[in-house]
Structure 1
Amino acid sequence: MTPTLRKPFGVIAIVIGICIYAALVASAAPWIERLHVLAQTPVYLVLGIIWILPLKPLLRWMETGSWKTPR
């Protein structure tokens, strides 16, 4: 097996993506902080989990070179 650049590029994409996502969430903080504390909790829970969703296809691509699930 010859090494590919998929893994280094994938790691760089993950780091850049998380930084962009964190900046977007931080820019939304002034609007979120206006909500009641009990309303803020589910918002931050959802925002804290949702960033994981695009990782599955990216990690699959890093390992296999394909974006689709193998059959």
Structure 2
Amino acid sequence: MAQDEKGLSYKARRRWSLVILLVGLPIYIVLAISVVGWLDRPPILVELVVYVVLGLLWALPFKFVFRGVGKENPGADAE
């Protein structure tokens, strides 16, 4: 079974990516909206910058989980 540098198999990375996208991302969206709410409705450009930064920031810790998930399983036997 092929494993990447973090020790997660392809199948485990696919499962974790689904959990992150279906459970973690909605929670993160609620937190991002709350952060902008604490700013007392800033100007639209500031709000846009905050959303863009927060939108990119959530994926950085999970970069290794999502890497290669959309491709064919590298450990599958070519028959």
Contact 1:33 1:40 in 2 (8 A): no
RMSD (Å) for aligned C-alpha atoms: 3.0
SS of residue matched to 2:60: coil
1:38-57 paired onto structure 2 within 5 Å:
38-57=45-64
TM-score by length of 1: 0.57
Aligned mates of 2:17, 2:43 — CA distance in 1: 38
Distance 1:17 1:37, change over 3 A: same
Query: Which of the pair has the greater relative contact order for Cα pairs under 8 Å at 6+ separation?
Result: 2
Moved over 6 A (4+): none
CA deviation string 1:8-55 (max 9, x = no partner): 244123321102111111222322452122322211111121122122
Distance 1:43 1:55, change over 3 A: same
TM-score by length of 2: 0.53
Higher helix share: 1
Distance 1:37 1:9, change over 3 A: closer
Q: Which runs of 5+ in 2 are unaligned?
A: 2-9, 75-79
Q: Which runs of 5+ in 1 are unaligned?
A: 65-71
Percent of aligned positions that are identical:
31
